[in-house]
Structure 1
Amino acid sequence: MDVSDLVIDGDTPGVAWRLPVFRFSGTVPAAPSVYIQAALHAGELPGTALAHFLLGALAEAEARGAIRGDITVVPHANPIGLAQSHFGEMQGRFDLGSRTNFNRDFPLVPLSGRDGLLENLGTFSAVERLKRHVLHTALGADLVLDLHCDDESLQYAYLHSVFWPGAADLAEALDMDAVFLSDGASTAFEEAVAHAFRMDAPHDGLPAGRLAVTVELRGLADVDRDTAKRDAAGLLRFLAMRGVVAAEAGSPHSFDGPVLPLDWVEMIRAPEAGTVLFHRRVGDRVKAGDGLATIIARPGFADGEVTLHAPQDGLVVTRVSRRYVRRNGDLMKIACAGPSARQRPPGTLED
């Protein structure tokens, strides 16, 4: 195992950011190579915990000579966001300087433009240089996994439709509850990688042997030793199934969770601001018309409550953890068996 620091100079004198990069050299040139990063949204830590235990397992595999393909792991991909604190609360999703999401505005380049990402770096801000470095590293791999989490959530994944059903082995190995098929219309990290892979693919758009996926490892508070070790074991099993690591993969099983395009995800938003009383938990299945949440918009008034109902049958995949919501604020994601009647602009479900 080789450990090196990626150094990102700050935008003011005397400031520099360091993030450790762990690399394992494979012994089989034809084996797939892998890039795994966690906590691009700095406060989303289930992936960092997973990476910690995965690195221990990979070190043991390396000692046995069982690393077949090159593996790169970045346990915490955003030291800039990690250091951002406002009134004692980490601000790890958005850069406070530019107000942009750390997982948006990645350059969209073909694989042939990979090296150009590191040209003229001095003309870019620290955040832009961080994005260019991690994207450059990822585009050197065949399999790219970006580990995130939601607020309160089941385990699910985002990936471009060209990678499905090829990625069913990952969904099964990590025991995912749902898979969302993106439309390739955003500049998130995983979609920037998918863009490069697709540009390099044959005309059928299927990048043979490649994968780019965002894994949502449940919710923000789902960080504990047993869960992280179980997720690390699942990811190690996936690497064994793909021939990256020589290990027992077990018998593969088919993934039987919902697989749906983003237009089939009902985004439940608040029509008014107020205190939220949820009627449903993540993992609940709902029928059209079921009560989802009540908002106490005007406490003490007879007409002060607003109740939201399920627009169609589905599975509650996420809900927010805060119990006060602004008007039009997100409350839930529901995976459904048909398209939402609400028009969705291309791109991501949330900012």
Structure 2
Amino acid sequence: MEISEIIIAGDTMGIEWRLPVFRFAGIEPGAPRTYIQAALHANELPGTALAHFLLEKLRHADRNGAILGDVIIVPQANPIGAAQTHFGELEGRFDLGSRTNFNRDFPLIALRERGSLLENIDRYPATDRLKRHLLHMALGAELILDLHCDDEGLQYAYIDEAFWPEAADLAAALDMKAVLLSDGESSAFEEAVAYAWKYQAEGERKTRLPGRLSVTVELRGTRDVSSETARNDAEGVWRFLVGRGVIAATLPEPPVFAGKAVPLDNVEMIRAPQAGAILFHRDIGESVKAGDVLATIVTKPGMPDGTVEVRAPQDGLIVTRVSTRFARRRSDLMKVACAEPSRAIRKPGTLEA
């Protein structure tokens, strides 16, 4: 195992950030190479805890000569965001300087242009330099896991349709309850990786990418950080790596994915019609019917007409729920995965900013 650091100089004097990178050299040249990062949104820590226990297993495998394909692990992929605390709260999701989501605006390049990511890199601001380093490392691998979490959520993933259903092995290994299938056309990290693979040949767009995978894994909610869940998640990733031929090990017959897989268009984003206190009636993991009351918003406390009900627009599975109990008008409340496309008008691409 090799441990190195990528140093990101700050945009003002006397500041720099250090990005630890763990590398394991595989012994089989043809085995898949893997890149795993966690906490790109710096306040999402279930992936960091997973990486801690996965590294323990990888060190043991390395000593026994069981690592077949190169593996790179970045347990805390965003030291810039981890240093940005606002009024006692770690922001983590948005850069306070540029107001940009740390998981947006990754360069969209063809794979053959990978080397250009680090050319004249000092001309870019720190956040862009960080993104370019991360993307450069990822594009040297075939299997990429970007570990995130939701606010309150089930175990689920965003997976480009180009990887499905081959990626069902990952969904099964991590016991995911849902998979949200996308067209992969945004500037989020995992989609920037897929973009480079799709457009690796000039004038050609691949629609299937066998043997490759770039995925955003949502490891439940922000508070689901414990030794037990992290160890279980690390075991799940370990099973996936063994199944894909990255690690040499004998395991029982792999499980079969039994969750729900739906296109992003079939996800109902449940939003608050007015501002107020949120009284949830249904929880994550519950199946609901069209018309079921999902939440009540207390808009005018104490008044006879002081509440507004929020109902399910169609049948579906509640995948996420916000942890806050105050809503602004049009605030997100839930994601519900449904069998039919949503009739709500929304921008194409990712569901949230």
Same fold (TM over 0.5): yes
- Out of 208, 211, 214, the position equivalent to 2:213 is 211
Instruction: Indicate if the aligned counterparts of 1:295 and 1:305 stay in contact, CA closer than 8 A.
Output: yes
- 1:314 is aligned to 316
Q: How does 1:3-18 map to 2 (within 5 A)?
A: 3-18=3-18
Q: Work out the CA distance in 1 between the residues paired with 2:257 and 2:239.
A: 15
- 1:63 is aligned to 63
- 2:240 is aligned to 238
Residue 133, structure 1, aligned to residue 133, structure 2: yes
Q: Work out the CA distance in 2 between the residues paired with 1:148 and 1:60.
A: 25
1:23-80 residue CA offsets vs partner (Å, 9 max, x unmatched): 0000000000000000000000000000000000000001111000000000000000
The Cα of 1:116 is off from its aligned counterpart by 0.1
The one-letter amino acid of 1:212's match is S
- 1:82 is aligned to 82
Residue 261, structure 1, aligned to residue 263, structure 2: yes
Instruction: Indicate if the aligned counterparts of 2:198 and 2:205 stay in contact, CA closer than 8 A.
Output: no
Residue 284, structure 1, aligned to residue 322, structure 2: no
Q: Work out the CA distance in 2 between the residues paired with 1:141 and 1:70.
A: 8
Q: Match of 1:114, SS?
A: helix
Instruction: Indicate if the aligned counterparts of 2:50 and 2:231 stay in contact, CA closer than 8 A.
Output: yes
The Cα of 1:127 is off from its aligned counterpart by 0.3
The Cα of 1:163 is off from its aligned counterpart by 0.3
| Segment drifting more, 245-254 vs 108-117 | 245-254
Q: Work out the CA distance in 2 between the residues paired with 1:302 and 1:151.
A: 32
Unaligned runs of 5+ in 1: none
Instruction: Indicate if the aligned counterparts of 1:154 and 1:218 stay in contact, CA closer than 8 A.
Output: yes
Q: How does 1:140-159 map to 2 (within 5 A)?
A: 140-159=140-159
The Cα of 1:203 is off from its aligned counterpart by 5.8
- Out of 323, 328, 331, the position equivalent to 1:326 is 328
Q: Work out the CA distance in 2 between the residues paired with 1:161 and 1:142.
A: 16
Q: Match of 1:136, SS?
A: helix
Instruction: Indicate if the aligned counterparts of 1:263 and 1:344 stay in contact, CA closer than 8 A.
Output: no
Residue 97, structure 1, aligned to residue 89, structure 2: no
The one-letter amino acid of 1:213's match is V
Q: Percent identity?
A: 64
The Cα of 1:209 is off from its aligned counterpart by 1.2
Instruction: Indicate if the aligned counterparts of 2:288 and 2:318 stay in contact, CA closer than 8 A.
Output: yes
The one-letter amino acid of 2:125's match is S
Instruction: Indicate if the aligned counterparts of 1:316 and 1:333 stay in contact, CA closer than 8 A.
Output: yes
Q: Work out the CA distance in 1 between the residues paired with 2:340 and 2:80.
A: 40
- 2:251 is aligned to 249
Q: Work out the CA distance in 2 between the residues paired with 1:268 and 1:90.
A: 26
Q: Work out the CA distance in 2 between the residues paired with 1:194 and 1:250.
A: 31
The Cα of 1:250 is off from its aligned counterpart by 2.0
The Cα of 1:123 is off from its aligned counterpart by 1.3
1:129-156 residue CA offsets vs partner (Å, 9 max, x unmatched): 0000000000000000000000000010
Q: Work out the CA distance in 2 between the residues paired with 1:188 and 1:77.
A: 14
- 2:48 is aligned to 48
The Cα of 1:204 is off from its aligned counterpart by 5.0
Q: Work out the CA distance in 1 between the residues paired with 2:155 and 2:255.
A: 17
The Cα of 1:208 is off from its aligned counterpart by 2.6
The Cα of 1:346 is off from its aligned counterpart by 1.1
Q: How does 1:163-242 map to 2 (within 5 A)?
A: 163-200=163-200, 204-242=206-244
- 1:119 is aligned to 119
Q: Work out the CA distance in 2 between the residues paired with 1:229 and 1:254.
A: 20
- 1:345 is aligned to 347
| Segment drifting more, 282-291 vs 199-208 | 199-208
Quote the RMSD (CA, aligned, Å). Answer: 1.0
The one-letter amino acid of 2:350's match is T
Q: Match of 1:193, SS?
A: helix
Q: Work out the CA distance in 1 between the residues paired with 2:275 and 2:345.
A: 22
Q: Work out the CA distance in 1 between the residues paired with 2:250 and 2:138.
A: 26
Instruction: Indicate if the aligned counterparts of 1:264 and 1:340 stay in contact, CA closer than 8 A.
Output: yes
1:198-257 residue CA offsets vs partner (Å, 9 max, x unmatched): 113776522231110000000000000000000001100100000000012321232121
Q: Work out the CA distance in 2 between the residues paired with 1:204 and 1:212.
A: 14
Q: Match of 2:195, SS?
A: helix
1:169-225 residue CA offsets vs partner (Å, 9 max, x unmatched): 000000001000112221000000010111137765222311100000000000000
Question: What's the TM-score once normalised by structure 1's chain length?
Answer: 0.99
Residue 39, structure 1, aligned to residue 36, structure 2: no
The one-letter amino acid of 1:206's match is R
C-alpha spacing 1:97/1:203, structure 2 compared with 1 (3 Å): closer
- 1:297 is aligned to 299
The runs of at least 4 aligned residues of structure 1 exceeding 4 Å deviation read 201-204
Q: Work out the CA distance in 2 between the residues paired with 1:203 and 1:99.
A: 32
